Amino acid sequence: MKTSAFLIGLVLAAGALLSGCTPVIQAGLPDPQLTERDKQMMALAEPDEWKIPTRRSIVQYQTPEKPGTIIVDTGQNYLYYILPHGQAVQYRIASGAEYMGWTGRAEVGAMKEWPTWMPTESIMERWPQFRVYKQHGPLQGQWDNPLGARALYLFVDNKDTLIRIHGTNEPSEIGGHVSSGCIRMRDMDAIDLYGRVHVGTPVVVIS
């Protein structure tokens, strides 16, 4: 009986690898601790933030990158925070539309809680309605801000790439290719990741 169970386990594991699935070690990680401001803002968040099942898990993930690295897989729309011993915390994300995707190596150059948001020049060119921000300035950090609860600012050679890993006020779009090049996460996931990283954390974006 033990031999049969062992063989079945091998078959299931092989099937998971062949299908492209990442073996899960611990599913449904607990939510991170929230600040009082987090609680106030999250109480106003879109209901989708609470309806979408938690997909934050520890998975097996083999990579030559060192523990403490962030790997963003825009093709599969997953973000991995690398842990020791071939493991990683896996988060579901939304990434840039096909023509907007960016890949490469960067590092976390700045970190902000409930960041303000100012449309870039390219966004204002594509969507003229955002030009009003030139008059009244950036949107304050709050529950309906497009950057959500947390933002990690990606830098290359000490220069801001304008690419962010951030929360979102549209959690229902997680899993899609919808953004203007940034990497979106559920606010709860963004808060969790924020608590694990620091300025200087390496980031690898692949497709």
The answer to whether the CB of 88 falls within 8 A of the CB of 188 is: no
Q: What's at 132, amino acid-wise?
A: V
Q: Catalytic site residue 21?
A: no
Residue 182 bears catalytic tag: yes
Distance (Å) of CA 81 to CA 61, 65, 137, 169: 10, 10, 34, 22
Which of 136, 177, 182, 198 does the annotation list as catalytic? 182
Q: Which of 21, 166, 177, 198 is catalytic?
A: 166
DSSP string, 49-86: HHHSPP--EEEE---SSPTT-EEEETTTTEEEEEETTT
* Cβ-based neighbours of 175, under 8 Å, separated by 6 or more: 77, 92, 93, 94
Catalogue the active-site residues. 166, 182
